[in-house]
Structure 1
Amino acid sequence: MEFTKAADAPWENGCSEALIKSVKKSLSLAIGQSIMTFSELQTVLFEVANILNERPIGTSTSDPNEGTYLCPNDLILGRASSNVPVGNWDESDNFKNVGSSQKWHVSKRNLQVLDLVLVQDNNSFRSNWKLGQIVEAKSSRDGVTRDVTVRYKNIGPGTKYTGTQDLLIRRSAHRIVVLLPVEEQISNK
């Protein structure tokens, strides 16, 4: 095994460190000050692993209109797992690294039409956020995209797609997480 990053420089390996942080935070929220038996701890570890393996890592088909995404559970289990663990989980504290949290003075890429995105919803679990595609991006006078119109399929997890009508919603750019920018979609074809 060859390590490419120095052990004393964790900031050079940001994605791995963010995932480790998510594991620690999820375990801390699940266990807290509880004293658990081995089987209870094992169950919590499995639930945390399932939550972390539900994060989107790409699209599962070449057609982003289908409304599905690829997650590690698809590769590990051979299928998606959308079971929500029982207990006192506070989903709003889990996986802070999914969304962008940069300072306002740091310029970043504007949202663009045909970007594949997740629509953040504070009233639902992250695993239930809508996967969609931007169909319209409205910019302010300073050229920064402030709100977008997203098209998505209104189907529940685990249900078969039967040709339902696309839904259009208008959301603030702050509530959008880009999964696959249009530039990468074009370069992958």
Structure 2
Amino acid sequence: MQVQKMSDLPPDRVSPEPPFTHVGLDVFGPWMVTARRTRGGHAESIRWAVIFTCLSTRAVHIEVIETMTTASFINGLRRFSAIRGPIKTIRSDQGTNFIGACKELKLNTTDPELKTYLKDNKSTWIFNPPHSSHMGGVWERMIGIARRILDALLLKLNPSYLTHEILVTLMAEVTAIMNSRPLVSVSSDPEAPAVLTPSMLLTHKKDTLAAPSGDFDVNDLSNKHWRRVQALADAFWKRWRQEYLTTLQTKGKWNMEKPNLQVGDVVLLKDSQMKRTEWPTGLVVKTFPSRDNTVRKVEVKVVKHDIPRVYLRPISELILLFHAKNV
């Protein structure tokens, strides 16, 4: 196997332009939904989703498309551009999932109609070489995790429970969950430690939309469509927390000494009792070294509703986001 020095980031990864000017794209699905009720039951239809990842802010946007045609895909692009603004660069891979989706969608990326649309909008579509998914790592990981979780949730769901409206609303909830993930620390201020998220870059708002109160069970779906959406969104959040957020921690069993948490470290507090997107961010204000000089519990200051609170927590309940020595 040949190796070579890692190249610099492409210009569209570091250009100071508005969000979603340069995007990575993938298509995933399909899922069966109830299109309409009939006397004998219900008529089913297929839906797909197009996921866009901003190459600079790492935000995501998901559009549901209805038919397996280039025209439907162009409509999805048009809806995306109407909300997020013009696209200069679209990047995608040539992996099995994307090529397979294009074939089933009857989407030909050399289609004159699609080429004309891209040309009229001054957009460029760039394909990575085959078998080089690492070149699209900036969007591949997000897309891969979202696709795996959604497929696991929706493919085993009775199509009679899933309508187009439920699917579109669920994708909006999934987008909000993904865009609330932490990127880097933006402040080491002990009074207001805040963590930069894609949502903050898109909305310029620090707070995220709170999830509805109440318990929603994906296995006990009621006739109320909004409850079905929340049950599925909660199920997505639980899988997202387990499969993505935990990877922000160093993995491995406890057979090796690890660097201690220090005063000034910015951490994310795990809390299984809290709703998705609401895990608080805190600042380590005190450590408690054991006899062997290893830290296994700390005091963390969290600011809620502009009121600072201090909690004693074991390090197993914390996710390190930003180390004090990097300040």
Residue 114 in structure 1 maps to residue 264 in structure 2 = yes
Q: Which of the numbers 156, 172, 176 marks the counterpart of 1:50?
A: 176
The equivalent residue for 2:83 is: none
Q: Structure 1 unaligned runs (5+)?
A: 156-160
Indicate how the Cα distance of structure 1 residues 47 and 111 shifts in structure 2: closer, same or farther if over 3 A, else same.
same
Letter in 2 for 1:87: Q
Counterparts of 1:1-189 in structure 2 under 5 Å? 1=126, 7=132, 13=137, 18-28=141-151, 31=154, 32-35=156-159, 36-61=162-187, 63-79=189-205, 80-84=207-211, 87-88=230-231, 89-90=234-235, 91-96=237-242, 97-99=244-246, 100=249, 101-155=251-305, 161=306, 164=307, 166-185=308-327
Select the structure of larger CA radius of gyration.
2
The answer on whether the counterparts of 1:30 and 1:44 sit within 8 Å (CA) in structure 2 is no
1:57-77 Cα offsets, whole Å, 9 max, x none, are 234556352143321111123
In the TM superposition, structure 1's runs of 4+ consecutive aligned residues that sit over 6 Å from their partners are none
Indicate how the Cα distance of structure 1 residues 62 and 133 shifts in structure 2: closer, same or farther if over 3 A, else same.
closer
The answer on whether the counterparts of 1:55 and 1:71 sit within 8 Å (CA) in structure 2 is yes
Q: Deviation at 1:131?
A: 1.4
Taking only the aligned residue pairs, the percentage that are identical comes to: 25
CA RMSD of aligned residues (A): 3.1
Give the whole-Å Cα distance in 1 for the aligned partners of 2:139 and 2:254.
25
Q: Deviation at 1:4?
A: 9.7
The answer on whether the counterparts of 2:133 and 2:140 sit within 8 Å (CA) in structure 1 is no
Indicate how the Cα distance of structure 1 residues 102 and 78 shifts in structure 2: closer, same or farther if over 3 A, else same.
same
Indicate how the Cα distance of structure 1 residues 4 and 167 shifts in structure 2: closer, same or farther if over 3 A, else same.
farther
Q: Deviation at 1:19?
A: 2.8
Q: Deviation at 1:138?
A: 1.6
Q: Deviation at 1:47?
A: 1.2
Indicate how the Cα distance of structure 1 residues 104 and 21 shifts in structure 2: closer, same or farther if over 3 A, else same.
farther
Letter in 2 for 1:19: M
Letter in 2 for 1:82: L
Indicate how the Cα distance of structure 1 residues 18 and 8 shifts in structure 2: closer, same or farther if over 3 A, else same.
closer
Q: Structure 2 unaligned runs (5+)?
A: 1-125, 213-228
Letter in 2 for 1:98: L
Indicate how the Cα distance of structure 1 residues 66 and 78 shifts in structure 2: closer, same or farther if over 3 A, else same.
same
Q: Which has the higher contact order (CA 8 A, sep 6+)?
A: 1
The answer on whether the counterparts of 2:193 and 2:283 sit within 8 Å (CA) in structure 1 is no
Q: Deviation at 1:28?
A: 4.0
**Matched residue count:** 175
Q: Deviation at 1:107?
A: 4.5
Q: TM-score, normalised by structure 2?
A: 0.46
Q: TM-score, normalised by structure 1?
A: 0.74
- Hey, which of these two has a bigger chunk of strand by percent? 2
Q: Deviation at 1:51?
A: 0.6
1:28-68 Cα offsets, whole Å, 9 max, x none, are 46534142333322221121111100112234556352143
Say which SS state the counterpart of residue 92 (structure 1) adopts.
helix
Q: Deviation at 1:22?
A: 3.4
